[in-house]
């Protein structure tokens, strides 16, 4: 029994020794590198760039009051459609006391003047009927009487404008009524009833009562890097994708490229604008974030390979062309090539390869 145990232990030791030897031998042998093989094919390549920006109305107008005062009525809300001339809000005038006092004094003086002119006119009229005075004296008295009446009317009108902001002679054109200047959609009404508002002047932009825009005429506005702006030209088509509407694809036509760049965090960029075509049934909102895709270059039916196969020796592009593949390994030879445009994944080959040629790709890592 002891002999059997000894022989068993001896045999196990030999097996372990031989296994270790074989393992170490295999480990010491150089590994055969294998690579993915890419085939030169014919297809289409396009070089595109993505521009980040927003979709916004071409015409967006801030509606401001023509007088200062307090908002007494709001007739419209954000999201409503308005026509040019339609009333959005009403402003109650808070008169300046000095101006009000001057206007009241003017009315008082006009009343005195009219009273005197009326007395003179009636007296002159009686004398005219008695043929005591000439026609010229009568006409002068009549003219002064009419002038005094007009002055009183004008003074009362000025007083009402100062006090109420409304002309007695043209109430329908009241400056207290804030009207839309264009047809469109109300995007925002930033004021509430009771808010004080001021008119626009040399020293102040004035209070915005509402923002109105024509939502049927939208543009895409974004910035493009200076390295790519030279390839753009007005009239180029764009594909617009909107983050808030993932299933909607819009088309646009480039219509503006800024002549001057702007510094954006150290990168020199140029503003671009493109007219957006809105399909039927699609509702867009002002300020949607969007990406514009522009095709800068394209080539149809050209020979190309995956760009991962491409290598460079200084400025010379080359690939490793497969010449043989066996269990023992793959054989390659260097092949200089000339390239064209790239889409980031595939690159055009203009010289050095033909359709069906197989080239070395990335190394296959075996686990």
Q: What is the pLDDT of residue 6?
A: 67
Residue in this structure with the two tokens 């219509």, named with its chain if needed: 255
d(CA 157, CA 4): 133
Edge-to-edge strand order for the sheet containing 60-63?
60-63, 210-213, 184-188, 81-82
Residue 75's pLDDT band (cuts 50, 70, 90):
very high
d(CA 66, CA 197): 10
pLDDT per residue over 295-348, tens digit each?
A: 988 889 999 999 989 999 888 999 999 988 887 778 889 999 999 999 889 999
Q: What is the pLDDT of residue 22?
A: 55
Q: What is the pLDDT of residue 118?
A: 86
- As a whole number, the mean pLDDT across the chain is 84
d(CA 20, CA 234): 73
Any alpha helices (H) in the chain, and if so which ranges? 2-28, 97-129, 135-164, 226-229
Whether pLDDT at 174 is above 60: no
Q: What is the pLDDT of residue 205?
A: 86
Whether pLDDT at 28 is above 60: no
pLDDT per residue over 247-297, tens digit each?
A: 889 999 999 999 999 888 888 999 999 999 988 888 888 899 999 999 988
Cβ atoms 272, 290 nearer than 8 A: no
- DSSP for 134-162, written as a single string: -HHHHHHHHHHHHHHHHHHHHHHHHHHHH
SS3 string of 44-74?
EEEEEEEEEEEEEECCEEEECCCCCEEEEEE
Residue 81 pairs in a beta bridge with: 185
Q: What is the pLDDT of residue 138?
A: 81
pLDDT per residue over 36-71, tens digit each?
A: 899 999 999 988 889 999 999 998 999 998 888 889
d(CA 236, CA 217): 18
SS3 string of 333-356?
EEEECEEEEECCCEEEEEECCCCC
pLDDT per residue over 234-247, tens digit each?
A: 999 999 999 888 88
Measured in whole angstroms, how far is the alpha carbon of residue 132 from the centre of its chain?
82
Cβ atoms 48, 342 nearer than 8 A: no
Question: Positive or negative CA dihedral for 184, 187, 190, 193?
Answer: positive
Average pLDDT over residues 81-88: 92
Is the pTM value of this prediction over 0.85?
no
Q: What is the pLDDT of residue 315?
A: 86
Measured in whole angstroms, how far is the alpha carbon of residue 251 from the centre of its chain?
15
Beta-carbon count within 10 A of 222 CB:
22
Edge-to-edge strand order for the sheet containing 87-93?
177-179, 87-93, 69-74, 196-197
| Distance, first Cα to last Cα, the chain | 45
């Amino acid at each position: 029994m002891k002999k059997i145990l000894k022989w068993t232990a001896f045999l196990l030791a030999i097996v372990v020794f031989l296994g270790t030897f074989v393992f170490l031998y295999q480990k010491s042998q150089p590994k055969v590198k294998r690579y993915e093989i890419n085939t030169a094919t014919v297809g289409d390549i396009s070089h595109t760039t993505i521009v980040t920006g927003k979709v916004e109305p071409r015409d967006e107008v801030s509606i401001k009051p023509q007088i200062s005062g307090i908002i007494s009525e709001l007739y419209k809300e954000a999201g409503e459609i308005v026509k040019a001339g339609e009333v959005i809000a009403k402003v109650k005038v808070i008169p300046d006391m000095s101006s009000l006092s001057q206007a009241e004094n003017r009315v008082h003086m006009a009343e005195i003047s009219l009273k005197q002119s009326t007395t003179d006119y009636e007296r002159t009229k009686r004398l005219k009927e008695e043929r005591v005075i000439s026609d010229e004296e009568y006409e002068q008295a009549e003219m002064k009487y009419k002038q005094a009446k007009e002055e009183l009317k004008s003074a009362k009108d000025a007083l009402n404008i100062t006090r109420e902001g409304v002309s007695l002679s043209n109430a329908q054109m009241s400056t207290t009524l804030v009207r839309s200047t264009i047809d469109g959609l109300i995007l925002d009404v930033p004021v509430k009833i009771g808010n004080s508002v001021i008119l626009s002047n040399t020293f102040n932009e004035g209070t915005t009562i509402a923002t109105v825009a024509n939502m049927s005429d939208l543009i895409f506005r974004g910035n493009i890097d200076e390295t790519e702006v030279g390839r753009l030209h007005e009239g180029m088509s764009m594909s617009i994708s909107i983050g808030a509407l993932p299933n909607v694809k819009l088309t646009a036509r480039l219509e503006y490229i800024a002549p001057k760049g702007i510094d954006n965090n150290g990168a020199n960029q140029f503003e671009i604008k493109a007219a957006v075509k809105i399909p039927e049934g699609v509702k867009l909102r002002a300020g949607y974030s969007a990406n514009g895709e522009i095709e800068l270059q394209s080539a149809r039916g050209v020979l190309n390979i995956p760009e991962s196969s491409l290598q460079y020796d200084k400025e010379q592009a080359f690939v490793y062309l497969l010449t043989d593949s066996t269990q023992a390994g793959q054989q390659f030879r260097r092949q200089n090539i000339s390239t064209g445009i790239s889409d980031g994944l595939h690159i055009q080959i203009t010289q050095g390869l033909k359709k069906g040629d197989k080239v070395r790709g990335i190394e296959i890592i075996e686990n």
